Amino acid sequence: MSPEEFRRQGHAAIDWIADYWAGLDDLPVLSQVSPGDVRRALPASPPETGESFDALLADLDELVVPGLTHWQHPRFFAYFPANSSPAAILGDLISSGIGAQGMIWATSPAVTEIEQVVVDWLAQALGLPEQFRLTDHGRGGGVIQDTASTATFTALLAALHAASGGSARETGVGSTKWAVYGSSQAHSSLVKAVMMAGLGAECVRSVEVDAHTQAMDVTALERLLADDIDDGWTPLFVQAAVGTTSTGAIDDVQAIAEALDGVGAWLHVDAAWAGVAAVCPELRDRILAGTHLASSIVTNPHKWLLTTFDCSVLWVQDRSWLTDALSITPEYLRNPASESGAVVDYRDWHPQLGRRFRAMKLWAVLRTYGLEGLRAHIREGVDLAAYVAELVGEDDRLELVTDPSLSLVVFRHVGGDESTLSAMHRLNASGVAYLSHTVVEGRAAMRLAVGSWRTTREDIDRTWAELQRGL
């Protein structure tokens, strides 16, 4: 592709994206294809000679779009949002265009230093405790990772390294009986991190939750800790969930930290979805209370903060915890800047070596929306969820399962699981909206998570009318 052709096709690609966004409202939110449909529509082998890019663009509407579930649709309410925005898309495109690989400072100083600044801007925007920020006098810092799963895995590796006095990276996990704690509602990425670290899933303690709030029962945690210590286990890592996936429950981080007093375990806060809502000062106390006592915290701008997937930010109170655990320097990466100690090499802050210029899209989002714009976006989601909760309250056939949490509403049919799930399936099959389900205290529930900047009250009304038709 010549530079001129690239320019022409680039315009065409942006036009296609703009048209796709403009037409989303008329598409069924949930893809209607059957397994194998997309594969069967594609040639079995690659073309022997190159085709014009026009041919690929021409296939998008016919072959790709029907096989998509439209995450940017204004009535996508399933799981948690993975919302994108025009600013983030352009930032991501520029990052691809630059094509830099920022594994170490020397391979592109701007990739590292813009990330340092942007992550620190986000820490300020959320009002994170000072100790997480990258300052000349402090020890903290943040890094952009692909996902919260990787961030939690990274934090666990750092915890293991520190708790083992550095021996884990040399001689493995050894014979110490490490124990890891999260509530029964903790995200599955916690168990996966434990499995990947070679600790074995059996070392994870599933701490009971309060039946009403679904937040961790800290007394139960204290009991488990005491029993484990008596039985010769070493508490290694405790994960507090700020915004659980199922119901948006918020664990009491302060109380969990107090329960860990004298225990010495690493406290990690998983605020993957809810954390970015701290950009609104009125929500901050609820989200950040007690986080000054945590060792690490993760939140995903790629969920609710308009930053195209993937972009997850992990902060730690002491950046040397990461670098001590993960740094390894083969000869070919040696360079004067790294050896001077004056620069950050982000390769030492996560499992992989290579890294994209993800800060570009977050930089674009923070600059284009400004904090005012981001606050307005979060508040809109919270207000619309409150409206959904009102609608639930007005229909005798439905009931709230938990109090709405930020922009998430969890509710069910009073007639039982089958009525709940069939109403949700009918709504999803209609194509009008897409909700997902969960199980709370053994009973099925629907989750409606608002997140798109394009969702309006009319979208909620349309969804509601369709849901009620199927009740």
Which residue ranges make up the site for ligand PLP (CB under 6 A)?
Answer: 80, 147-149, 187, 189, 241, 243-245, 270, 272-273, 300, 312
Between 244 and 295, CB nearer to ligand PLP = 244
CB of 433 to ligand PLP, least distance (A): 19
Between 294 and 398, CB nearer to ligand PLP = 294
Between 149 and 463, CB nearer to ligand PLP = 149
CB of 265 to ligand PLP, least distance (A): 19
**Structure tokens belonging to residue 399:** 């009931």
**What would you report as the CA-atom Rg of the chain, rounded to the nearest whole angstrom?**
23
CB of 243 to ligand PLP, least distance (A): 6
CB of 287 to ligand PLP, least distance (A): 13
* Count of helices and strands (H, E) across the chain: 17, 11
CB of 80 to ligand PLP, least distance (A): 5
CB of 309 to ligand PLP, least distance (A): 8
**Structure tokens belonging to residue 312:** 């997850």
Burial state string for 205-242 with b = 16 or more CB within 10 A and e = fewer than 16: bebebbeebbbbbbebbbebbeebeeeebbbbbbbbbb
Between 228 and 270, CB nearer to ligand PLP = 270
Q: Which of 282, 309, 281, 313 is nearest to 297 (CA)?
A: 313
Element (DSSP H or E) covering residue 266: strand 266-270
Between 203 and 272, CB nearer to ligand PLP = 272
Residue with tokens 């400004």: 370
Burial state string for 385-422 with b = 16 or more CB within 10 A and e = fewer than 16: bebbbebbeeeeebeebbebbbbbbbbbbeeeeebbbe
Q: Which of 189, 126, 167 is nearest to 315 (CA)?
A: 126
Between 134 and 297, CB nearer to ligand PLP = 297
